[in-house]
């Protein structure tokens, strides 16, 4: 056993334990429990002690018994010598310690003597640390959004750290913010508008993109290469440089405040990437199928409908989902074009709501939950398709 490996192992494992315990403590604090100290020194010392004990005990004890034993020791010391806390806090600590001991169990004295053992230990724990940290940092804002929508302004002002939800109150009270945004702020209407615009954009984009992509993929015509390069270049131009001319022209044509105007703009901005993605896929379809179709005297319309479409369902779904996501989340154009609350999209409605300083934050968060949940559900359910869409379309974002 090398001294260097031993030190690395003891320090990094106890640091990992400390970060796990600290995140748990933050979550506990957010339930309104008063907890003011991470107890860095004590936790690190306990962590080092347990890591070393693990090495000393080795395989003399069954690993389950060993882990449970360590977890008990740690929970006891932490709970009764450091701070008196509710029992569920201690249960959490116990669970963390079981997890930690099971992880450290794989390191033995023999392992620490092997080559690169210190590096492997560091990499292993950094991986674990990364998983915990990234999950926390990414999920926490979403968690906060959801919880805040169930709280009241008064409760949040009294203790901004109390994120506990009282499930004993009746349903109407708990979902009050949602009732308010749907009744007072007409969010039902905005959901309909957003859905209409997004689904409309998907349909119109596909109607325009499928024939164009087919032409670019299969037919020979003058300016084809120029067209396929310029698709990508056009795609690189950001919305912000289009905003002023579009605003002026749309104002003069009376297209502002119309959902149709928004739909046209969304379609145009997503068309280049849709064409780009689809033509790539169309190229991969064997040409022989179409040649057979030409023998059968099908025209291009027939070829697209009867041969290309059925074979490209995966690519078309990717494009459709990607375009839907872009249109649903879009903000800049809806801010520019819509000033009449009757034609707001969800994003614009939330921004409008936040413009009034008096609006309680739980309404804002309830609105945010309403606009976020559909995209996240669609994303989780159709992840495979969306990820390929994202990768292809990720030149933008």
Partner 1 sequence: MSDTLSKIEKKTAYILILPAVFLVFSIILFPIFANVWISFKEVGLKDIRIPEPRAKKIVKSIKDNPDQLKVIYKLRNSSLILEIRDVKFQDKLPKNIKPINLDERCRVKSNKIYCDFGNWEAKYKENFQILLKSSDGKQINKKELKTIKPKLTGKSDNILLNTNFTFKNFKKVFFQNEFFDLLSTTFYYTFFGTIGSIVFGILTAQLVNQKFFGRTFMRSVLLFPYVGPVVALAYTWELLLDPYSGTLNNLLMNFQVIQEPLNLLGQKYLKINFFGFDLKLRLALTTVIIFEIWRYFPLAFLFILARLQAVPKELYEAAEVDGAGPLQKFISITLPQITAVISILFMIRFIWNFNKFEDIFLLTGGASGTRTLPINVYEQGFTISDIGMGSAVSIVIVALLLLFMFVYFKLIGKRVDES
Give φ, ψ of 41 to 5 degrees: -65, -45
Specify the residue, 122 or 311, whose C-beta has the smaller distance to partner 1.
122
Please report how close the Cβ of residue 122 comes to partner 1 at its closest, in angstroms. Answer: 8
Nearest 5°: CA angle at 391, between 388 and 395? 145
- Of the pair 14, 279, the CB lying nearest partner 1 is at 279
What string of DSSP letters covers 228-240? Answer: HHHHHHHHTS-GG
Shortest distance, CB of residue 98 to partner 1, whole angstroms? 14
- Cα distance between residue 53 and residue 92, in whole Å: 22
Q: Which is nearer to partner 1, 5 or 75 (CB)?
A: 5
Q: Residue 248 CB, nearest distance to partner 1 (Å)?
A: 5
Q: 31 pairs with which residues across the strands?
A: 162
Cβ closest to partner 1, residue 40 vs residue 76: 40
Measured from the CB of residue 328, what is the shortest distance to partner 1 in angstroms? 7
At CA 158, angle to CA 156 and CA 164, rounded to 5?
Answer: 50
Q: Minimal distance in Å, beta carbon 60 to partner 1?
A: 27
Between helix 313-329 and helix 383-393 the angle, nearest 10°, is 70
Q: Closest distance between partner 1 and the C-beta of residue 329, in Å?
A: 4
Q: Which DSSP symbol is given to 285?
A: S
Which is closer to partner 1, CB of 57 or CB of 242? 242
Which one, of 260, 222, 248, 6, lies nearest residue 113 by Cα? Answer: 6
Contacts (Cβ under 8 Å, ≥6 apart) of 1: 109, 112, 113
- Distance of closest approach, residue 216 Cβ to partner 1, in angstroms: 7
| 324 touches 198 (CB < 8 A) | yes
- Please tell me the total number of residues recorded for the chain in this structure: 397
**C-alpha span between 195 and 176 (Å, rounded):** 24
Phi-psi region of 254 (alpha: psi -120 to 50; beta: other; left: phi over 0): left
How far is 12 from 51, CA to CA, in rounded Å? Answer: 10
Please, which residue, 73 or 189, has the CB nearer to partner 1? 189
Q: Judged by CB, which is closer to partner 1: 3, or 241?
A: 241
Contact partners, residue 247, CB within 8 Å, separation at least 6: 256, 336, 337
Is the Cβ of residue 76 or residue 331 nearer to partner 1 in the bound state?
Answer: 331
Residues near 66 by beta carbon (within 8 Å), at least 6 away in sequence: 54, 57, 101, 105
Residue 380 Cβ, how far from partner 1 at the closest point, in Å? 6
**What's the min distance (Å) between Cβ of 272 and partner 1?**
6
Q: How far apart are CA 345 and CA 352, in angstroms?
A: 10
Nearer to partner 1, 57 or 63 (CB): 63
Shortest Å, Cβ 43 to partner 1: 13
Q: Which is nearer to partner 1, 54 or 347 (CB)?
A: 347
CA–CA separation, 83 and 37 (whole Å): 10
């Amino acid at each position: 056993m090398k001294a260097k490996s031993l030190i690395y192992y003891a320090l990094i494992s106890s640091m990992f334990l400390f970060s796990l315990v600290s995140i748990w403590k933050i979550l506990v604090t957010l339930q309104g429990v008063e907890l003011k100290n991470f107890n860095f020194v004590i936790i690190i010392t306990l962590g080092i002690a347990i890591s070393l004990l693990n090495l000393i005990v080795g395989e003399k004890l069954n690993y389950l018994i060993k882990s449970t034993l360590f977890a008990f020791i740690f929970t006891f010391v932490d709970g009764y010598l450091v701070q008196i806390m509710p029992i569920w806090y201690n249960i959490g600590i116990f669970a963390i310690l079981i997890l930690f001991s099971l992880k450290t169990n794989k390191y033995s004295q023999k392992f620490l003597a092997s080559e690169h053992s210190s590096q492997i230990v560091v990499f292993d724990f950094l991986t674990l640390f990364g998983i915990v940290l990234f999950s926390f940092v990414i999920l926490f804002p979403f968690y906060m959004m959801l919880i805040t929508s169930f709280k009241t302004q008064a409760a949040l002002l009294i203790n901004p750290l109390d994120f506990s939800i009282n499930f004993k109150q009746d349903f109407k009270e708990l979902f009050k913010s949602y009732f308010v945004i749907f009744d007072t702020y007409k969010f039902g209407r905005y959901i309909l508008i957003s859905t209409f615009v997004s689904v409309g954009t998907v349909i119109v984009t596909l109607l325009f993109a499928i024939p164009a992509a087919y032409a670019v993929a299969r037919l020979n015509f003058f300016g084809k290469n120029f067209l396929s390069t310029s698709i990508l270049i056009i795609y690189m131009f950001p919305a912000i440089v289009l905003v002023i001319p579009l605003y002026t022209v749309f104002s003069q044509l009376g297209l502002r405040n119309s959902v149709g105007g928004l739909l046209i703009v969304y379609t145009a901005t997503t068309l280049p990437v849709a064409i780009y993605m689809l033509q790539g896929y169309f190229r991969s379809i064997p040409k022989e199928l179409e040649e057979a179709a030409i023998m059968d005297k099908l025209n291009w319309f027939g070829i697209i409908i009867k041969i290309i479409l059925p074979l490209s369902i995966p690519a078309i779904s990717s494009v459709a989902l990607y375009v839907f996501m872009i249109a649903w989340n879009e903000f800049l154009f809806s801010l520019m074009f819509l000033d009449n609350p009757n034609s707001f999209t969800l994003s614009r409605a939330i921004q409008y709501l936040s413009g009034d300083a008096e609006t309680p934050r739980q309404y804002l968060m309830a609105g945010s939950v309403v606009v976020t949940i559909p995209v996240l559900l669609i994303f989780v359910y159709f992840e495979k398709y969306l990820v390929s869409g994202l990768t292809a379309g990720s030149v933008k974002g």
